[in-house]
Structure 1
Amino acid sequence: MSKILRTNPNPILSAAVEYHGFVFTQGVVARDLEQDVEGQTRDVLEQLDTLLEQHGTDKTRLLQAQIWLKDINDRDKLNNLWSVWLPEGQAPARACVQGILADPRMLVEIMLVTTK
C-alpha cells in the first residue's frame, strides 16, 4: 500500500496531501486579510510556491487549479498576477468562480493539484 503524506494536519484539513507522486494543496488564503485582492493574491502564490517546494515540486508541474474570488470582477487583477506567476506554456486546467469565503475579508483562495 502506498504511503499518504500529510503536511501540517489538524482536525479538519492538511496543508497538503501527497500520494502516488501527486500533491493536493489546501485552499490557500492570504495571511494578511487587510490587503487588497492583488496583495492577497501575491501572498497566496508565494505560499503555494513554498508548499510545493516542501513536497519537491513546483509550478511547472501544475495539473489543476481551483480559484475562488469574493468578487468575480477582480478576475482581471488576479489573472494579471497569475499569468506572470505561471511558467510560459504551463497553464493547468483551471476553474475561477465567485464564492462566499470563510471570512468576509478573504478576497481570493487558491487550491492546486500538481505532480512531482
Structure 2
Amino acid sequence: MTIRRIEPGPRMSQAVIHGNTVYLAGQVGAPGESVTAQTKAILATIDELLAEVGSSKSKLLQTIIWLDDMANFAEMNAVWDAWVDPGNTPARATGEAKLAGPEYKVEIIVTAALD
C-alpha cells in the first residue's frame, strides 16, 4: 500500500494516509489562549486537514486529547460537544500531560477513515 504524507516537514507530517485511514499529527491552538479558544482553533484545523484529504469529522475513528490540567476537562468538552458529529462519535481518550510548553493547554490527535 502507498503512504501519502501531507505537509511533510523535517520532524513530522501534518497528516499521513495509509490505505483508507488518515492519521493527523497532534494539533495545538494559539499559545497562551484560553482552553476554549485553543480547542476551537484545533478543531477548525482538524476540519481543514480532513477536508484536504477527502474526509470529515463524521468519519473520525479515534481521538486522543491531552490537557495540561484535567481541571480544564469541562471547558474543553463544551467546545468538543458543540463540534463533534453526534451520530458519529469516535472512540476517545482524554488525559493530562505536560505539553510542549506551558502556553499550550490542549492537544488533539485524530485518526479518521477516508471513505
TM-score under structure 2 normalisation? 0.96
TM-score under structure 1 normalisation? 0.95
How many angstroms apart in 2 are the aligned matches of 1:13 and 1:36?
26
Q: Which amino acid aligns with 1:45?
A: L
**Following superposition of structure 1 onto structure 2, how do residues 1-116 of structure 1 map, counting pairs within 5 Å?**
2-30=1-29, 32-116=30-114
Provide the secondary structure at the position in 1 that maps to 2:72.
helix
RMSD between aligned residues: 0.7
How many angstroms apart in 2 are the aligned matches of 1:34 and 1:71?
14
Identity %: 35
Name the structure with the higher strand share.
2
Q: Which runs of 5+ in 2 are unaligned?
A: none
How many angstroms apart in 1 are the aligned matches of 2:84 and 2:42?
13
Structure 1: which 4+ aligned runs deviate by more than 6 Å?
A: none
Aligned residues: 114
Provide the secondary structure at the position in 1 that maps to 2:27.
coil
